[in-house]
Structure 1
Amino acid sequence: MPTNLTTSANHTAQHSETNYNFPALIFGILLIVVIICGNLLVCLSVYKEKALKTTTNYFIVSLAVADLLLAVLVLPLFVYAEFQDGVWSLNMTICDGLMTMDVMLCTASIFNLCAISIDRFIAVSVPLNYNRKHVDQRQIVLLSATWILALAVASPVLFGINNVPNRDHSECKLENNNYVVYSSVCSFFVPCPIMLLLYCGIFQGLRRWEEARKAKLKSSTQACQKFEEPPASLPPLACLPPPLPPVIENDFTDFNLKETNQDPVPDSPYTIECKNGPVASLTFSDSGYNQDQNQEKKRAKINGRERKAMRVLPVVVGAFLFCWTPFFVVHTMRALCEDCDIPSSLISIVTWLGYVNSAINPIIYTVFNTEFRKFFRNFLPKCC
C-alpha cells in the first residue's frame, strides 16, 4: 500500500529530460508475470481439482485474487512511473484511482493472510466444530469481512482525501499524512500482532495435542506389554502353550509427516493395536472415550493434518514480516516526521519489497501442499 509511487522524495517541477529506469521496467515486468502466473495456477487448481475444494484453500483463493488484481490493476502503472524515474505524467484522477486500488488490494492481501491464520487457529482449537469440506456461515463472514474492511480502509482516497491545495501533479502519492498513519495502523500494525498471536496459539495447541498423543500411546504400549506377561503367581505348566514372545515396541515418538495423496490419519491418542505372533489384533481404549470414538478419530485426523502446518508457519510469518515491516515502518516514519530526510532509493526498495510478497504468497501456500504439487505436475507439462 505505497504512500508514494515515485522514487524521488520531492519534485518541484516537471523534468525537462526524463531518465528512464530500465532495470525497474525489466524487474517490474518479470514480477507482474510471476504474480499473475502463480496466482492464476492457484485459482485454477482449486477450481478443477476436487481434492483442493476445502475451506482453507478457499481462503488461499481469496488471497490469490487480491494478489492477482494487484498485479493487473496497480503494478503496471507503478512500473510505468518507476520507468520514468518517478515522474507521474498522467492525470490526477487516474492517480487517485490507482491509490484507492493500491491501498485496498494490499490491505486485502494482508487481511487474507490474517484470515488464514484465524481459520487454522479454529481448526486446531475446535476441530470437532470445524467444517473442512464446506464453507459455513462463520467462514463466509470472515471472507466477506476481509474485503469489506479493506474497502473501508481505502475509501477515504476514493472520496477525495488526496485533493489538497497546491498538489504536485508530477507525483502520485497519498497526500494526507494523517491518513497514511491511519491506513498503516489498520493495514499492518493491528493485523500483524493478531496474526502472530494466533500462530503462537496454533503452536501451543499442536504441542499440547502431541504431548497428549505421546502419553496415551506410551500408556497403551505398557498395557500391551503387561497383558502379554505371564502372571507371576502361576508357575508355567508343560501342558500349556509357551508364553507369547515379547512385544515389539513401535516407535511412537516420531510421527511420520510424509504426505500422501490423501489426508494423513495419525494414530489416535486413545487407541493402539498390538500385533504379534498368533494374536492378530489387541485394542486398548479408555472406557470413557468409547462412546465418542468417532469424534476422537475426527479430532486426531484434523490435528494430524494441522501438524504439518507447523513446518510452514515459520516460513509464512517470516516472509510476511520480511516483506511488509520495512515498508510500513519507513512510510509511517515519513508521515510522522516531515523534516526527516529519507532517501528516495529506500522508499522505492521497501515499496518493491511489499509487492514481492504477492509473488511469494502462492509459492508458500502451495509448495508445501501435496494436492497442489500433484496438480501442478500434471497441468504444467500439458500446458507447456
Structure 2
Amino acid sequence: MISTAFRWLILVGFIILTIGGNVLVCLAVGLSRRLWRIANCFVVSLAVTDLLLGLLVLPLSATVELRSGKWPFGGALCNIYISLDVMLCTSSIMTLLAISVDRYLAISAPLSYSRRVTPRRVTLVIFAIWTLSLALSFVPIHLGWNTIDYRVQHLDWGMEDEDEEGRYCQFEWNNNYVALYTFGSFYLPLLIMCGMYLCIFRIAREQVRRIRAATPSFARTTTAAIFREHKATVTLAAVLGAFVICWFPYFTFFTCMGIKEKTNPPNTIHSIVLWLGYFNSTLNPILYPAFNRDFRKAYGELLRCRGPYHRKLQLTRASLHKRLTFTHGQRVSKQSQKHIDTVK
C-alpha cells in the first residue's frame, strides 16, 4: 500500500511538473518581448508537444503503471493512446530537426537569415511537422501495418477483457516496420541533427576567431548579434542532447523487442526506458532558463506575476516621476530667480 501510494505521488508530481513547466514556456515566449523571435516559434511548438503529452498521454501511462501494465479501457482507446504517444514523439523529433536547420541558417548566413526564415515559412514548416506526425502515427496503427499478420492490433478487446492474460496495451512492431519506422523517424533525423550542430559549432568557432581579429568598429556592429545567436544555439543544442539521452534507450530497447516475434508483457526495463523518454518533456522547460538569460528573466517575471501591464505601469510611473521632478526643478529655479531680482 505504501509503495503504491509513493508511486502514485511521484507520477502525479511528474505529470504536474510537465504540464506546468511547458505552460510556463508558452507564456514566457508569448508575454516577454525579449523572446519575440521567429526561432522561438519552434520552441513553442516543442512546448505544445510536451504539454499535450502531459495532458493526454501521461495520465493514461501512469494508470497503466499503477495497474502493473493492465489496460482497463478497451482496444479502441488503446490504439488511440498509442497513436497519440507515437505522434507526439515524432513531432518532437521533427521539431528538433527544424530547430537545427534554423540554427544552421542563423549562424552560417546571418545577413540573409531574415530573408530566408520568414513567419510564413515557419508556419508552413510547423504545419507540415504536425501533419506528417499525424500521418506516421495514426495511419499505420489503424491500418495494421505495424503487426506481424497486418491486422489492426487490439481491435477485438472489450472493456470487460482487462483481466485476461496478455491484455497489455503495447505498440506492436513487425520486422519490416521496426526498421522503417525507427530509421526514418529517429535515427536518420538524429544523424542529420548531429551533423548540423557539428557544422554550426565549427562555423561559430571560426566566427569568434574573425571577430577577435576584426577592427573595433566592425566588432561593435556585429558582435552582439552573433553572440546572441551563439547563446540560442547552445541552449537548443542542450535540448537536443537531453532528447538523445532520454529517448535513445527507448528506441534501442523497443527495436530489439520488435525483432522478436513474441510480444513480452511490460517489465521493469520497459517502465524505465519509457518514463526516461517521458522525462524529456519535463526536462525541456528547465533547460531553457538554465542556458538562456532571456528565459530566466521571463520566468522570473511570470513567477512574480509581473507581466507586460506591470512593466508598462512601472515605465509610466517612472516617466511621471521624471516629469514631476523636472517641473519642480523649473519652479524652484524661477523662485530663485525672483529672489535674486528682488535682492537686486
The two structures share one fold, judged by TM-score above 0.5: yes
How far the C-alpha of 1:152 sits from its partner, in A, is 1.9
Is 1:351 aligned with 2:274? yes
Change (3 A) 1:342 1:92: closer
Q: Secondary structure at the match of 1:163?
A: coil
Matches within 5 A, 1:264-283: 268-269=218-219
Q: 1:129 aligns with which of 85, 95, 112?
A: 112
Question: Is the 1:91–1:169 Cα contact (8 Å) retained in structure 2?
Answer: no
Which structure has greater helix proportion? 2
**1:126 & 1:343 partners in 2: Cα distance?**
48
Output the CA distance in 2 between the equivalents of 1:343 and 1:155. 22
How far apart are residue 156 of structure 1 and its match?
2.5
1:173 aligns with: 170
Letter paired with 1:38 = G
What amino acid maps onto 1:109 in structure 2? S
Gaps of 5+ in 1: 1-17, 221-266, 272-296
Q: 1:163 aligns with which of 152, 162, 174?
A: 152
* Per-residue deviation, residues 270-323 of structure 1 (Å, max 9, x unmatched): x7xxxxxxxxxxxxxxxxxxxxxxxxx4x5443221222464365334312210
Confirm or deny: 8 A CA contact 1:327 1:350 kept in the other structure. Answer: yes
CA gap of 1:21–1:92, structure 2 versus 1, over 3 A, is farther
Rounded to whole Å, the distance in 1 between the matches of 2:119 and 2:223 is 21
Aligned to 2:114, what secondary structure does the other structure show? coil
Instruction: Give percent identity, aligned residues only.
Output: 37
Partner of 1:363: 286
- Asked whether the 8 Å contact 2:29–2:40 carries over to 1, the reply is yes
Matches within 5 A, 1:248-263: none
The alignment partner of 1:88 has SS state of: coil
Decide which of 170, 177, 182 is 2:180's aligned counterpart. 182
Query: Counterpart in 2 of 1:85?
Result: 68
Q: 1:307 aligns with which of 230, 233, 246?
A: 230
Please identify, of 155-164 and 337-346, the stretch whose mean Cα deviation from structure 2 is larger.
337-346
Alignment of 1:27-42 (within 5 A): 27-42=10-25
Q: Look up the SS of the partner of 2:183 in the other structure.
A: helix
1:310/1:104 CA distance change after superposition, 3 Å? closer
Which of 199, 209, 212 aligns to 1:201? It is 199
Q: CA deviation at 1:329?
A: 0.3
Aligned to 1:238: none
Q: What is the distance in 1 between the residues matched to 2:297 and 2:228? A: 17
Structure 2 Cα separation of the partners of residues 57 and 344 of structure 1:
39
Paired residue type of 1:174: F
1:144 lines up with 2:127 in the alignment: yes
Q: Structure 2 CA distance, aligned partners of 1:90 and 1:169?
A: 14
The code of the aligned residue for 2:61 comes to: F
* Residues paired across the two proteins, number: 291
Query: Structure 1 CA distance, aligned partners of 2:237 and 2:109?
Result: 22
Q: Secondary structure at the match of 2:305?
A: helix
Instruction: Determine the structure 2 residue equivalent to 1:192.
Output: 190
Shift in alpha-carbon separation, 1:268–1:182, aligned structure 2, 3 A: same
Of stretches 27-36 and 152-161 in structure 1, the one that deviates more from structure 2 is 152-161
Q: Matches of 2:13 and 2:178 in 1, distance apart? A: 29
Specify the alignment match of 2:298 in structure 1: 375
Matched, 1:54 2:37: yes
CA separation of 1:357 and 1:49: change in aligned 2, threshold 3 A = same
Amino acid at match of 2:89: C
State how far apart, in whole Å, the 1-side matches of 2:8 and 2:305 are. 31
TM-score by length of 2: 0.76
Q: What CA deviation, in whole Å up to 9, does each residue of 1:91-134 have, x standing for no partner?
A: 111101101111101111122122111111110011112229x8
* Kept after mapping to 2: 8 A contact 1:123/1:302: no
The 5-angstrom pairing of residues 8-47 of structure 1 reads 21-47=4-30
- Map Cα deviations across residues 234-263 of structure 1 (whole Å, 9 max, x no partner): xxxxxxxxxxxxxxxxxxxxxxxxxxxxxx
Correspondence list, 1:291-302, <5 A = 297=221, 300-302=223-225
Q: C-alpha distance in 2, partners of 1:164/1:311?
A: 42
TM-score (norm 1): 0.68
Q: Sort the Cα spacing of 1:163 and 1:57 in 2 relative to 1 into closer, same or farther, 3 A.
A: same
Q: Distance in 1 between matches of 2:153 and 2:236?
A: 43
